[in-house]
Amino acid sequence: MVTTTSTLRARIHATLLHSNDSQSGRRWRAFHLFALGSGLLAVAVSSVVNLPDLVDRLLVLIIALVAIIFLVEYGLRLWSAPESLRYSGLSDGRARLRWALSATGLIGLLAVVPAFAISVSAVKADSDFAAIFCILWILKLSVHAPATGTLGRVISNERAALSSVLIIFIIVLVTAATATYFFERGGQPDQFGDLPSSLWWAVVTLTTTGYGDVVPHTVGGRMVGSVVMVSGILVLALMTGILATGFAEEVRRREYLRVWDQVVKVPMFTELGTVTLSEIVGKLRVRYYPPRFVVVRRDEPGDSMFFISDGEVEVRLPREPVRLGQGGFFGEMALLDRLPRSATIVTTQPTTLLVLYASDFYEIAAHIPSLVAAVEKEARRRRQENESGQATPSASS
Ligand code: CMP
């Protein structure tokens, strides 16, 4: 009984983890996003005044439903908190208390409590409530979204470059604010009478926002303004470049680990040794497919081949269909023969595939001839089998 409970608890904990790539984890995330999106939409619409009574009641119902989902989620997260590695060594009660007092726990609770206040008491969700909800529910999303963690890591990795740009930003800002203060304070004492007011103008101009509420009138002030506008574009371009590059790098690193986890399930790759394997990992993409999904259609042009790291596919041949399981591959013939797909291939269960695009396949052919030789050998066998119409044992069977 204890084992059953703890396995169930571990499974639930793993499913709720945003880094979980399993089928159940991905389904939960999609459902959570859908509930959150519906809830936010209902809250936003409910802030519109003079809605028909029926629509109002429907919106309150949706908000209540989403709140119930979040309440169940909160309960499950609290119950499964002892499974977290972060709380290993603590008793179940202490682990739950620590989780409840963490940012995730507090935001999870805040996302639930006020929702019940308006839905259970059936108070009309007025615009104040709507604003609070939008913030709390979006906060909940930001806590669980992998992008938040990624952005945090990007800022940490790029802090040296970001600080340099920030220093340039501050230098331009203070210089421009001081210079404009000197030029404009006589003519516009209300707008440029002190340095903080000039700083406001400089920030609005440097960030290229330009509200137009404060405008320099003297020639000197306008010249400073021109320099600030051009500098603003440069500084923002630098900042965007640093963040975009850092983000792409971080995503590439995460994808690398995700692919690595799948690649080790394919014996054909593991036989290659770590160095060669690391070369190939960068060229593969992980794709998850539901059952009965057509991955490849006969007679269509082919630009990629697939390795099965989990699940099973059915190759629909004119004679009886052939099934390929974990470790198998398909789609190689179109790349080798440069011909359209020779068969339709459909998943029979949830399946994880590693995709290798044609350009990368030809590059790998030059670097890792042993891998391509094995693929070619199997393709030859399949061709013979299709021509003779009789099954022959594959190299792996
Ligand atoms: P391709 O022609 O690119 O697309 C369909 C794929 O089905 C083909 O590559 C092979 O990978 C696979 N295929 C074709 N014939 C057989 C077979 N006899 N046994 C297993 N797989 C096959």
Residues contacting ligand 1 via CB (< 6 Å)? 296, 302, 315, 317, 322, 330-334, 341-343, 345, 382, 385-386
Which pLDDT value is given to residue 105? Answer: 92
Of the candidates 69, 46, 218, the one whose C-alpha atom is nearest the C-alpha of residue 131 is 46
Residues of the chain with pLDDT > 90: what percent?
61
Which protein residue has the closest C-alpha to ligand 1 atom 17?
Answer: 382
Which pLDDT value is given to residue 321? Answer: 93
pLDDT at 13 over 80: yes
pLDDT at 275 over 90: no
Which pLDDT value is given to residue 115? Answer: 66
Residues of the chain with pLDDT > 70: what percent?
92
When the candidates are 3.40.50.720, 2.102.10.10, 2.60.120.10, 3.30.1360.70, the CATH number that belongs to 270-388 is: 2.60.120.10
* Ligand 1 center from residue 314 Cα (angstroms): 10
* Ligand 1 center from residue 51 Cα (angstroms): 58
Which pLDDT value is given to residue 202? Answer: 96
Q: Tell me the best of 294, 306, 308, 315 to mutate to test the pocket of ligand 1, counting ligand atoms within 8 Å of each CB and taking the most.
A: 315
The residue ranking higher by pLDDT, 343 or 133, is 343
Model confidence over 175-227: pLDDT tens digits?
999 999 999 999 999 999 999 999 999 999 999 899 999 999 999 999 999 99
Q: How far apart are CA 137 and CA 39, in angstroms?
A: 8
Of the candidates 326, 314, 328, 325, the one whose C-alpha atom is nearest the C-alpha of residue 374 is 328
The residue ranking higher by pLDDT, 149 or 386, is 386
| CATH class given for the domain over 2-144 | mainly alpha
pLDDT at 396 over 80: no
Model confidence over 144-153: pLDDT tens digits?
777 788 888 9
Let me know if domain 157-252 sits in CATH 1.10.287.70.
Answer: yes
Q: How far apart are CA 231 and CA 215, in angstroms?
A: 17
* Ligand 1 center from residue 277 Cα (angstroms): 24
* Ligand 1 center from residue 343 Cα (angstroms): 6
Q: Please, where are the H alpha helices in 145-187?
A: 146-157, 159-184
* Ligand 1 center from residue 33 Cα (angstroms): 37
Q: Tell me the best of 314, 346, 382, 394 to mutate to test the pocket of ligand 1, counting ligand atoms within 8 Å of each CB and taking the most.
A: 382
* Ligand 1 center from residue 147 Cα (angstroms): 38
CA dihedral 352, 12, 69, 150 (to 10 degrees): -60
Model confidence over 153-175: pLDDT tens digits?
999 999 999 999 999 999 999 99
The residue ranking higher by pLDDT, 3 or 32, is 32
Which pLDDT value is given to residue 158? Answer: 95
Which protein residue has the closest C-alpha to ligand 1 atom 8?
Answer: 331
Closest ligand 1 atom number to CA of residue 343: 5
Which pLDDT value is given to residue 49? Answer: 78
Which pLDDT value is given to residue 118? Answer: 60
Bridge partner list, 95: none
Which pLDDT value is given to residue 361? Answer: 92
Position 271 confidence tier, pLDDT thresholds 50, 70, 90? confident
Distances in Å between the Cα of 74 and the Cα atoms of 98, 110, 238, 329 are 14, 10, 41, 42
Which pLDDT value is given to residue 2? Answer: 44
Domain ranges, ordered by start, for the chain:
2-144, 157-252, 270-388
* Average pLDDT over every residue of 86-91: 91
247 within 8 A of 240, measured Cβ to Cβ: no
pLDDT at 76 over 80: yes
> Is the model's pTM score more than 0.85?
no
- Name 317's Cβ contacts closer than 8 Å, sequence gap at least 6: 343, 386
Q: Tell me the best of 297, 303, 333, 392 to mutate to test the pocket of ligand 1, counting ligand atoms within 8 Å of each CB and taking the most.
A: 333
Tokens standing for residue 110: 């805040």
Which protein residue has the closest C-alpha to ligand 1 atom 9?
Answer: 331
* Ligand 1 center from residue 298 Cα (angstroms): 10
* Ligand 1 center from residue 318 Cα (angstroms): 12
31 within 8 A of 89, measured Cβ to Cβ: no
Bridge partner list, 323: 314
What mean pLDDT value characterizes the chain?
89
Which protein residue has the closest C-alpha to ligand 1 atom 11?
Answer: 330
Model confidence over 99-144: pLDDT tens digits?
999 988 998 888 887 666 665 555 555 556 667 777 888 888 887 7
Q: Tell me the best of 332, 342, 344, 380 to mutate to test the pocket of ligand 1, counting ligand atoms within 8 Å of each CB and taking the most.
A: 342
pLDDT at 294 over 80: yes
* Ligand 1 center from residue 280 Cα (angstroms): 22
